[in-house]
Amino acid sequence: MLIRLLTCSALLLATVSAPAAADAPPSDPARAELRSIVENVSGATGKRYAVHDDAGHVMDTVKIIQDATGGYLAVSHHLAADGHFRVNLATSTDLLNWHWVRELAGSNTGPASQPTIAQASNGGFVMAWEQEQPGGGNNHLAFRYFASRTDLLAGQVTRSFDAPRQLSSCAEGTPNIYGITLAPDIDHSTIDIGGHYWWNCDRDRQQRGQLTNFSSWSTAAQPNYDNALLYWGVGGNIGDRDQAVFRGCSFGLIEGQFTKGDFGSWRMFVYDYQTGNADQTTIRTDGGSTAFANPTVTALNAPNGQPAILVSLFIPSQGAAAGESGELIYYQTY
């Protein structure tokens, strides 16, 4: 039991001093514990199905982060009446009830979806999403920088960058932010980004790139990440992912579609950045939903102040139990 409380670095030292445990990767106990949290929706500390904000927007593909001033911030998308996706910003004090603040992308940029957000060390915010041209198509990664919380809530953009596609002639998208390094400011920065590209214009596969000085973009395919899911027999898309540090170890939560075109075949995997391996999850909801997509995972403090892991998943109607389709938010304290 004690080993489950150690960090990856502590576990590595323990492995060096204890040859009998040398065959077990140091991240194994933490990955197993995280997987048990991800799987146990019905026993979560807090949860909400079919999440909407107080203005009535669905909060699909929501990414939630801690608000340094108290409470929480979230970006998500909804399908507007004109048939275009739009990105919204919302705030909360309890992780389950959300107050709509404003639209951040979609009306003026063309369809915008799959947003993510992270705060930099200087208090600014980097947001990324999947951008389409106004008439549809040309899916690519878009980035915006807000210099402060006040600017974010006002929708005041300081820096903008749209990344040209490099790995697919058809589409690239579903970003997550691994890290932001300022040296010392956003104009001298490195932002580490994950995403997918439409491999051969046929199936989604993984990429990882760098946005440098908010003015240049480079990226590369991540075949080893793909292989971790292909091992399990995933035959369709390998798409959206997110990353968090838990027990001192880095883990991802990623979607894999077993059958191309079948929304009911989406499943979740916990990816171990230390070993390059992935575990398939068996997620248990209250009603017994079976399909899950568009994950995010965030390590934060729960409303009661305890450390917690927060997960959001989209439950497609093809695999949803009654009353559970749409966006799911749940968290577990530990």
Look at the alpha carbons of 4, 63, 176, 270 in this order and tell me if their dihedral is positive or negative: positive
pLDDT at 20: 39
- The kind and range of the H/E element at 224 are helix 223-230
Looking only at the bridges linking them, the beta strands covering 99-105 and 307-315 are unpaired
Rounded distance between C-alpha atoms, residue 196 and residue 220, angstroms: 10
Q: Which helix (H) or strand (E) holds 149?
A: helix 149-154
Fold topology of 56-221: Tachylectin-2; Chain A (2.115.10)
Pick from 72, 31, 90: which is nearest to 310 by CA? Answer: 72
Global pTM reads 0.94
* pLDDT of the residue at 7: 59
What are the residues facing 212 on neighbouring strands? 190, 216
Strand 85-92 relative to strand 99-105: parallel, antiparallel, unpaired?
antiparallel
Give the per-residue pLDDT at 1: 30
Which pLDDT belongs to residue 22?
Answer: 52
Per-residue pLDDT of the chain (334 residues; tens, 9 = 90+): 333 344 575 544 343 333 334 567 899 999 999 999 999 999 999 999 999 999 999 999 999 999 999 999 999 999 999 999 999 999 999 999 999 999 999 988 889 999 999 999 999 999 999 999 877 779 999 999 999 999 999 999 999 999 999 999 999 999 999 999 999 999 999 999 999 999 999 999 999 999 999 999 999 999 999 999 999 999 999 999 999 999 999 999 999 999 999 999 999 999 999 999 999 999 999 999 999 999 999 999 999 999 999 999 999 999 999 999 999 999 999 9
**pLDDT at residue number 14:** 40
| AA letter at 255 | E
Q: Are strands 326-333 and 307-315 parallel, antiparallel or unpaired?
A: antiparallel
Q: How far apart are CA 29 and CA 299, in angstroms?
A: 17
pLDDT at residue number 23: 66
pLDDT of residue 136: 72
Residue type, position 231, single letter: Y
The overall longest dimension of the chain from CA atoms, in Å, is 63
Instruction: Please count the residues of the chain.
Output: 334
Question: Are the C-beta atoms of 187 and 203 separated by less than 8 Å?
Answer: no
Residue-level pLDDT at 174: 98
**8 A C-beta contact, residue 173 and residue 194:** no
Instruction: Report pLDDT for 108.
Output: 82
**301-315 in b/e burial notation, b at 16+ Cβ within 10 A?**
ebbeeeebbbbbbbb
Domain ranges of the chain: 7-15+24-44+236-321+328-334, 56-221
